[in-house]
A and B are shown apart, each in its own frame.
Chain A
Amino acid sequence: KAGVTQTPRYLIKTRGQQVTLSCSPISGHRSVSWYQQTPGQGLQFLFEYFSETQRNKGNFPGRFSGRQFSNSRSEMNVSTLELGDSALYLCASSQTSGRYNEQFFGPGTRLTVL
């Protein structure tokens, strides 16, 4: 079974631009969660999608948004990029709720904002 894939793996943007990151979950997994990892911080939860619906949202500004498609693939969008958005963005898939089931993580997208 193929693992979780994320594209692109690396991205360099400038302040004010917007970016879209993509996540393809493991086949059969319906839940996709997104996390931000910055130096010195733990994984910060962004949002979780389940069957195309946003189930939970973390404490991030409205510039961070996401969606999930009918094939469970998910995208995350960040508009009006700021320097502080430079981070590793991880997505994770699970069969149902991410709270109960082990999450399978992708390799991440390293975003650098200049």
Chain B
Amino acid sequence: ILNVEQSPQSLHVQEGDSTNFTCSFPSSNFYALHWYRWETAKSPEALFVMTLNGDEKKKGRISATLNTKEGYSYLYIKGSQPEDSATYLCAFGGSQGNLIFGKGTKLSVKP
């Protein structure tokens, strides 16, 4: 059974803090790694799709890195803002064809 693990499960930070979360996935048969942000009462929204080992992607204050050989990805948020409060999901795309999602990291940013 393929497993995608995210840590921590939840995180509480103060506005202005920088933070990061981890996504662990199988290191074999890798095709793509996705990150999504899911705000309460909204739909999940794609942040990044990463396919190459060593990939680094950035969108504003949010960035992500990818290590396919050891099977992990980090998501970084610089200078967290209250509007960053959401659940961050990663999803592994492997030879099975479909995406396998982790359970997410729930981020709460206090003003």
With A42-B89, A42-B104, A43-B89 known as contacts, the answer to whether A99 contacts B43 (CB < 8 A) is: no
A99-B97 in contact (CB<8A): yes
For the complex, would chain B's binding face be called helix, strand, loop or mixed by DSSP majority? strand
Q: How large is the interface on A (under 10, 10 to 19, 20 to 34, 35 or more residues)?
A: 20 to 34
Q: Which of B76-111 touch A at CB < 8 Å? A: 89, 91, 93-94, 96-104
Contacts of A58 in B (CB 8 A): 98
Q: How large is the interface on B (under 10, 10 to 19, 20 to 34, 35 or more residues)?
A: 20 to 34
B49-A102 in contact (CB<8A): yes
Is A103 interfacial (CB-CB < 8 Å)?
Answer: yes
Contacts of A40 in B (CB 8 A): 103
Contacts of B43 in A (CB 8 A): 3-4, 90, 105-108
Per the bound structure, the CA–CA distance linking A31 and B51 in Å amounts to 19
Closest A residue, CB atoms, query B95? A99
In the complex, per-residue mask of B26-50: 1 if CB is within 8 Å of any chain A CB, else 0: 0000011010100000111110010
Contacts of A101 in B (CB 8 A): 49
Per the bound structure, the CA–CA distance linking A44 and B102 in Å amounts to 9
Report the minimum CB–CB distance from B40 to chain A (whole Å).
12
For the complex, would chain A's binding face be called helix, strand, loop or mixed by DSSP majority? loop
With A99-B31, A102-B49 known as contacts, the answer to whether A48 contacts B102 (CB < 8 A) is: no
Closest B residue, CB atoms, query A108? B43
Contacts of A48 in B (CB 8 A): 97-98
With A100-B49, A105-B44, A105-B45 known as contacts, the answer to whether A56 contacts B34 (CB < 8 A) is: no
B31-A42 in contact (CB<8A): no
Contacts of B89 in A (CB 8 A): 42-43
Contacts of A3 in B (CB 8 A): 43
Known A-B contacts: A101-B49, A102-B46, A106-B43. Give 15 more (CB < 8 A): A35-B101, A42-B4, A55-B97, A90-B44, A92-B44, A98-B99, A99-B31, A99-B93, A99-B94, A99-B99, A102-B34, A103-B44, A103-B46, A105-B44, A107-B42
Can you name 12 A-B residue pairings with CB atoms under 8 Å? A35-B101, A41-B103, A42-B102, A43-B89, A45-B99, A45-B101, A48-B97, A55-B97, A56-B98, A99-B31, A99-B98, A102-B49
